[in-house]
Amino acid sequence: MAERNRVLAGERISRAQIDAAGEPSISEIEAALAQWDHERAAMLAIARARTQSVGVELVARILPGIELPAIANALIAITSGDKTPLFDVIRERRFRLFKGAAELEAIVLYAAWKAGVRGPELLPELRRLAARTMTAEGYALLSTIGATIEDPNVTAAIKPIATFGKEYAKAVAADDKAMSAPIEAVIAALPAEVEISRGGFTVRAAKQPGRNEPCSCGSGQKYKKCCADKPVAQGSPVSGLSWEEFLAGDKLTHEHVAELEIRELLQVDFAKLGRKPLVAAARKLADAQAWEHAERAIAELEKREGEEEWVDDCREWLVQAALRCGPAQRDRANAQIARLSPELRAHYDLELAIERGGSEAWTELTKRVKAVVASSDKLDDVDLAYAMLRVEPALGIMFARACIGTMRVDDADTLLEEVEEARDRLNLKPTDPAWAVLDALTITERTEHQGKRAKKSEDGALKTQLAESTARADQLERSLAALRHELASERTKPAAELVKATRPGETGELDGRIEELESLIREGQAERRELRKQLESVPRIGKEEPRRRPADEPSPDEGVDDLPAAARGITLPKFERKFTDALHEVPGPVASEAMRSVGVLAAGDGFAWKTVKQAKDMVRPLYMARVGIHHRMLFRCDAGVLELVDLITRETLLTTLKRIRGAR
């Protein structure tokens, strides 16, 4: 198998930076972390490791902000002492949700396993990551761990990647070596200087002098006594805005906020942000687990009059982000739940009661179940299932199965994926039986729908046959006219020319072909007469029939897969920036599959549209299509345009849909 080199994979830390950093103190590293500049913190930690020890707690705080495997390996290598606490980074879900996070988690999990982490707590994390999207090298690390575990359920869960450990043994050995390399080897593996992109060109960053070297300004003084602490002029990260305008924040839009790095966003004055960019900032910070800063953004929104709904929205967003981290952030989630409006707070009463335990939990559970049974809103069933999956996975699985069995669910695939994660936590056999139930119900529903449509459109089928027969007859008539014209031309040629050019029997052949066409036309006329008789005998649909929904009228309870294939014509694709960026970031096979899906959907392929689902409660209709197992393509279709919105992983689907609903 061909190997890919993790060492020079585009990292922005160089040997020149390490040399210029000198011997950083812990307080300098802490300052970089406070500014959410994990890249600088990693550089300072590596520089410190040349002469001082770097503790595992500090490395565990830097790792979640790193995006490149080579730097993750370097940080693990410089960690002194017992490395088993690195497992907390995985168990507490400290990595923010982005496309490369799963691979980094695999690296950290492998390091923790090598350090001695074993037992039941390892299994759910191994199973969870085995179902995520990453490179072959990442799967190889997980496969290597799985090969040492004798558990039939784990073996079944990681079966799709079981061979990667052997096939990519050299890559595993290279990672293993990088994780235990001496500091000299760690630094030697870094590029001499950093290459950055400016205006489409790759240039080398200016080399920064060491603190004891002469200052580059030419003063003759040492750098540390001259320009080391002077502020450096910076360019604005937002095109069209000066640095001062960027810091002020009053000209930023929510689109700008979405493009900013966290360390850039934290420099903006939240007090001057408009409502939309401030909401976007609070959500972005919560997703990045910058808890205190997210709370600061919410507090700023809370000061403004008439924004109570948005305060609740952002606070619940933070609650959901904290709950994803498990027990480590449960206190933070509870503190924010207590500050929600009574209506929203009621959604979490059951979880809080179960956490407290005792008879109160049973009382609250029965109360909630009675309310759900009496409700006509199917989302109440789904909310209960999700809540139980978080706090009591076994009960949550049963509630989720009930939602699937009665089809009281908005997105069955997403719910069942949560069920699979619950099965991972319980170390049950993968693939819940509800998947088979969903498949059976989907097929039955589609068959019934098609049957009803077939009965109501029998006359439509006959009309189609009649139209096809008429078209064939028209073609035959045109062919017959052409042959008659050719025969007439032959018969009117001068005799001398006929002797030279005409083959014996040529006009006879034309006569024969004309007779054949005339016969086919007579047969077509008889066929059309019979079709018209059948069409007249088909019963008309009376007034008692319910009005059929027009193809362009969206139903609140139906997805695109319920629409007839003919309702979707040819559309022109329009690619949003997020989609194109995602297309360049995902693995090649995923990108290829996404573009194939775009092609067949834009062509109006009926079979492709049957697999599409429609998101609920959207101001503008938003559709979802599967791309492989782990990705979803979000798009809109309107006025002859197929607007490709984003390409995301299934883990970020709910968060993304909520963000789009909120951007009103």
238 belongs to a structural domain: no
Q: Do 389 and 285 belong together in one domain?
A: no
Query: Which residue from 400, 384, 393 is spatially nearest to 326, judged by alpha carbons?
Result: 393
Q: Do 520 and 602 belong together in one domain?
A: no
231 belongs to a structural domain: no
User: Exposed (0-12), middle (13-18) or buried (19+): which is 663, by Cβ within 10 Å?
Assistant: middle
Q: Do 291 and 324 belong together in one domain?
A: yes
187 belongs to a structural domain: yes
Which tokens hold the place of 300?
């700023």
Cβ within 8 Å of residue 347, ≥6 positions away: 383, 387
* Alpha carbon 278 to chain centroid, angstroms: 24
486 belongs to a structural domain: yes
- What pLDDT, on the 0 to 100 scale, is given for residue 197? 44
- What pLDDT, on the 0 to 100 scale, is given for residue 543? 39
Looking at 453, 486, 507, the residue that finishes a domain is 453
- pLDDT one-digit tens code per residue, 329-343: 999 999 999 999 998
Cβ within 8 Å of residue 642, ≥6 positions away: 571, 572, 573, 574, 598, 601, 602, 635, 636
Positive or negative: CA dihedral 260, 262, 268, 271: positive
658 belongs to a structural domain: yes
Positive or negative: CA dihedral 578, 584, 585, 590: positive
Q: Do 490 and 567 belong together in one domain?
A: no
Beta carbons of 233 and 250 less than 8 angstroms apart: no
Q: By residue range, what is the domain housing residue 291?
A: 249-340
- What pLDDT, on the 0 to 100 scale, is given for residue 6? 44
Query: Which residue from 319, 357, 350, 351 is spatially nearest to 335, judged by alpha carbons?
Result: 319
Beta carbons of 664 and 640 less than 8 angstroms apart: no
30 belongs to a structural domain: yes
Q: Do 573 and 600 belong together in one domain?
A: yes
Which tokens hold the place of 379?
């989302």
Q: How far apart are CA 243 and CA 152, in angstroms?
A: 58
Q: Do 166 and 254 belong together in one domain?
A: no
230 belongs to a structural domain: no
Q: How far apart are CA 627 and CA 590, in angstroms?
A: 7
**β pairing state of 201-204 and 572-575:** unpaired
Burial 8-39 (b: 16+ CB within 10 A, else e): eeebbbbbbbbbbbbebeeebbeebbeebbbb
User: How many of the other CB atoms lie within 10 Å of CB of 159?
Assistant: 12
- What pLDDT, on the 0 to 100 scale, is given for residue 604? 83
Which tokens hold the place of 13?
């830390």
Cβ within 8 Å of residue 291, ≥6 positions away: 285, 318, 322, 329, 332
Beta carbons of 389 and 402 less than 8 angstroms apart: no
Residues of the chain whose pLDDT is less than 50?
1-10, 197-205, 233, 493-504, 540-567, 664
Looking at 312, 340, 368, the residue that finishes a domain is 340
Q: Do 498 and 631 belong together in one domain?
A: no
431 belongs to a structural domain: yes
Q: What are phi and psi of 68, to 5 degrees?
A: -120, 130
Which tokens hold the place of 26?
């812990």
Q: How far apart are CA 208 and CA 215, in angstroms?
A: 9
Positive or negative: CA dihedral 647, 649, 650, 655: negative
* Alpha carbon 586 to chain centroid, angstroms: 10
Q: Do 529 and 611 belong together in one domain?
A: no
Q: Do 20 and 164 belong together in one domain?
A: yes
Where is 648: in which H helix or E strand? strand 641-649
Q: Do 526 and 411 belong together in one domain?
A: no
Number of domains in the chain: 5
Q: What are phi and psi of 54, to 5 degrees?
A: -120, 115
Q: Do 46 and 182 belong together in one domain?
A: yes
User: How many of the other CB atoms lie within 10 Å of CB of 307?
Assistant: 17
Q: How far apart are CA 422 and CA 391, in angstroms?
A: 10
Residue for token digits 């078209």? 471
Q: Do 313 and 376 belong together in one domain?
A: no
Looking at 340, 366, 394, the residue that finishes a domain is 340
Positive or negative: CA dihedral 37, 40, 44, 46: positive
